[in-house]
Amino acid sequence: MEGTVSGIVAGTVTGIFSSWLANRWFRSQRRWERKEEAYREVLEALHKMSAGNDEELTAEMQRRDLPEARLGDLTRQWQEGKSVVYKYADLGSVAISPCVEKILERFRSRLENSPRPDSLFEELDRSGHEVRVALNAIKAAALAERRHLPLSWLHIPGWLRHKNSN
């Protein structure tokens, strides 16, 4: 009788702990998936901004004019990308990590508060540089955050993974 009661208590405690652990892991994974989607959206926006900027910069270096329709597309692409980036900067740590929030705030500040350059070439070069800096910093921050997920021991441990695998 005594063994049965202790078995029931041990089973109940183990069940409750396992349930709590699984729920915690699930919530952690869901939180990361939401952040990952936000990072993906921001990175795609920055990539489009960079690609458009590079196209315009290349045309400027080659001293050729882009058609007005294409310039309108590039401007719209830049504005849409900037809107996405600013949205996540405004949402802050509700949607992204504090580290990525700081990167986006720095990006916004550098775009908005830098002195106006003398030429279109300088403007394109400066803004392209800022986009690439933000893009690389966010990628690095997201990878670092991904590696430090709570309960990551449930996945393949780092010492078992090949150095070049993710």
Q: Dump pLDDT digits (tens) for 116-133.
A: 888 989 999 999 999 999
Residues near 124 by beta carbon (within 8 Å), at least 6 away in sequence: 53, 56, 57, 60
The pLDDT of residue 154 is above 80: no
Neighbours of 134 (CB within 10 A): 24
What's the pLDDT at 165?
A: 43
Indicate the pTM of the whole model: 0.73
Q: To the nearest whole number, what is the mean pLDDT of the chain?
A: 84
The pLDDT of residue 159 is above 70: no
What's the pLDDT at 73?
A: 96
Question: What's the rounded Cα separation, in Å, for the pair 155 and 26?
Answer: 13
Residues near 133 by beta carbon (within 8 Å), at least 6 away in sequence: 107
Name which of 9-23, 32-46, 101-115 the model is least confident about: 9-23
Backbone angles phi, psi at 155, to 5 degrees: -95, -170
Rounded to an integer, the average pLDDT of 79-100 is: 92
Residues near 57 by beta carbon (within 8 Å), at least 6 away in sequence: 121, 124, 125, 128
What's the pLDDT at 14?
A: 83
Residue type for position 52: G
